[in-house]
Structure 1
Amino acid sequence: MGALSLSVALSDNPMTAPIHSGRVAAEGIDWSVSAIHPSEMFWRQLKFGEFDISEMSLSSMTIAASQGVRDWVAIPVFTTRRFFHTAVVVRTAAGIESPADLVGKRVGVPEYQQTAAVWTRGALLHEFGVAPEQLTWFMERPPELSHGGATAFAPPTGVQLSYIPGDTNVGEMLRVGQLDAAVVYIAHRNLVDRSRSEAGAIGGVRTLFADPRAEGIRYYAKTGLLPVNHVVVVRASLLEKHPWVALNVYSAMLEAKRVANEPVLQALQPWEQLGLLPPETAADIRAADPLPYGIQAQGVVLETLAEYLVEQGLAKRLVDIKDLFAPSTLSL
């Protein structure tokens, strides 16, 4: 029997690069892999279901599951994660010196329900006491080009939200002073996002936190959370016929991460030889996995996101996050 032919969509990032290059493949699968920007990929999957395997917005998948939609099954592979609230940008002229100063301000977002925005609002509320209802929201993606268009998105109760007109975008509105801040800013070209200027190239715009790295370290030390926003999914109907696909794909993704990290770990050696990096520190770095896959290591992070979705009025009910994942992966 020949290999199973599948279509795959993955973003172009270090964790997936070995798959795009063909260096890593999944056993028993002959896959055709496309590199697609996440914003576009998630919209295409949610609206058209174009690929057998892809990355997916964890928030949108959870929202759909809360509505009884189970078209996709997740595999505990988390290709991108970061401290999203540290990337909030503000106009200097808006007088925003701290998160508390966001209250009453006009805030742009590509998509209200996108995972990065959910994590950012969660941090603003739980770390700084700033609630979503205290901001005025402007969303760039129209319903027909949004993830929420496939999950019946409507502004949660108490949230004031308007759609940005099609002839402008978050970046332009920041530039001319029609917005005071953006909780998520995307300027990479794709079919659903319209902003084009990098935030750093917009005059009078800076990050909310003077030292985003320091804020990320503080947040992690306090909460233990390194937020996840992308998860890998497989078409549910495919897994019903071929349940072995889940673990084969997981193994391939795990190997791709190992290959991606290999050069970084090898690069430590010269500093060890010169005595600039203590051997015990190098050993700790090699032993650590800062971006772990698997549910066991990420349960608290995943559960926190599920709770935020209910708290922010985006999910109809609290979803048991384990129900989203392939049964064969639950012990990983």
Structure 2
Amino acid sequence: MAEKLPLTFAVAEAPHTSALRDGTIGVEGVAGDWLTIKPQIGAFRRMVRDVEFDVCELAPTTYIIARAYGAPFIALPIFVLRKFHHAGLLVREDSGIKHPKDLEGKKVGVRAYSVTTGAWTRQVLIDEYGVDNSKINWFVDDEEHVTQMKLPANVAHATRPLADMMADGELQAGFHGNAGIGRKGNPTAGFSNTGWQEVEAHYPDLFPNAEELEWDYYRRTGVYPMHGTIVIKESVVRENPWVAKAIYEAFDEAKQGWLKDLHSGAADTASDKRYRKLLPLVGHDPLPYGIDENIKTIQALEKTAFDQGLTPRRMSMDELFIDPRKL
């Protein structure tokens, strides 16, 4: 029997990845060491800076930026997290921000400029509402994962927590949760809980009817924002060309089992319920894998990353993804 290829996997626990992580489903020809990095955002930084893992779940915007600067890993069209982004940009009631264009000239907080939540929301603001992103004064209180990335001129580092700046009126808007004003503390030291504190952020949403707008957006554009993207070291693929297809097929097999439970109602976590609610909109599979199935979404994120000053150049599909169906 041929010896299996040892690979480390840094992929977050999810209902559609659990069968991989617990060994119920294996990657053919691979002896996988499935690591748990909490929060997964810590793995993002370790991968883009130190290429620490053989296979890793990355935020797609972080990946595109890293790849544009020559990162030695490439993505498979496996997207383990999806979410629309009309909701989550919070505004102070005294800010005078009633419509997206009102953000121009205002100060807005986001943990880091390359945070995928921010990138997708700015895509909506720019493409759907004609907002001039260069006229928004962005404030960040974390460093970017990709150290080579150059911040645009309208992005500044805050000298104190975004949550405090929002509370004191120094910011007029900010992203909710870990993407912005829903936490305090510097996450750079390994993203441990030390120094990282979640805080309440009770401000109204820029789009109070976000869900209605999201469904309309998808029906018109076909863009279904992705978050977690699976990347693999180029050296691993170069030395073992078969492994990309094996990984893709294993992830798909694990997802198919989850889909049966999702449709039967057996899968019923908060995440499952959110995806089940989207079925009438996106169809039978709320986590589609594959390049053809996701081409509009991939192209939208690649384009908006460049338009927002996140990447130094445009990226081709062949530079960004391996198509396992063609192997």
TM-score, with normalisation over the residues of structure 2?
0.84
Amino acid at match of 1:322: D
Shift of 1:70: 4.2
Find 1:160's aligned residue among 131, 154, 163.
154
Shift of 1:284: 8.1
1:22 aligns with 2:23: yes
- What SS does structure 2 have at the residue aligned with 1:93? coil
Residue 121 of structure 1 contacts residue 131 of structure 1 at CA under 8 Å; is this kept in 2? no
Structural RMSD (CA): 2.6
Residue 59 of structure 1 contacts residue 114 of structure 1 at CA under 8 Å; is this kept in 2? yes
Deviations 1:294-324 (A, max 9, x none): 0011112111211112212222221112322
After TM superposition, the runs of 4+ consecutive aligned structure 1 residues lying more than 4 A away are: 187-190, 192-195, 283-287
The answer for unaligned runs of 5 or more in structure 2 is 267-278
- What SS does structure 1 have at the residue aligned with 2:79? coil
Does 175-184 or 221-230 show the bigger shift? 175-184
1:102-181 alignment, distance < 5 Å: 102-142=103-143, 146-149=144-147, 152-156=148-152, 159-165=153-159, 168-181=160-173
Shift of 1:39: 2.0
1:302-321 alignment, distance < 5 Å: 302-321=298-317
1:196 aligns with 2:197: yes
| Count of matched residue positions in the alignment of Structure 1 and Structure 2 | 304
Query: Within 2, Cα distance between the matches of 1:126 and 1:45?
Result: 31
Match in the other structure for 2:68? 66
Shift of 1:330: 5.4
Distance change in 2, residues 1:177/1:154 (3 Å): same
Find 2:234's aligned residue among 219, 229, 236.
236
1:33 aligns with 2:34: yes
- What SS does structure 2 have at the residue aligned with 1:64? helix
Residue 295 of structure 1 contacts residue 330 of structure 1 at CA under 8 Å; is this kept in 2? no
- What SS does structure 1 have at the residue aligned with 2:303? helix
Amino acid at match of 2:28: E
What is the percent sequence identity of the aligned residues? 28
Distance change in 2, residues 1:173/1:325 (3 Å): same
TM-score, with normalisation over the residues of structure 1?
0.83
Does 223-232 or 29-38 show the bigger shift? 29-38
Find 2:295's aligned residue among 299, 321, 328.
299
Shift of 1:227: 1.2
Match in the other structure for 1:250? 248
Amino acid at match of 1:179: L
Distance change in 2, residues 1:45/1:93 (3 Å): same
Shift of 1:115: 2.6
Deviations 1:241-278 (A, max 9, x none): 1111101110111112122222221129xxxxxxxxxx
Residue 265 of structure 1 contacts residue 286 of structure 1 at CA under 8 Å; is this kept in 2? no
Shift of 1:84: 2.1
Query: Within 1, Cα distance between the matches of 2:127 and 2:260?
Result: 37
- What SS does structure 1 have at the residue aligned with 2:288? coil
- What SS does structure 1 have at the residue aligned with 2:25? coil
Shift of 1:3: 1.8
Match in the other structure for 2:273? none
Query: Within 1, Cα distance between the matches of 2:163 and 2:151?
Result: 22
Shift of 1:2: 2.4
Residue 117 of structure 1 contacts residue 183 of structure 1 at CA under 8 Å; is this kept in 2? yes
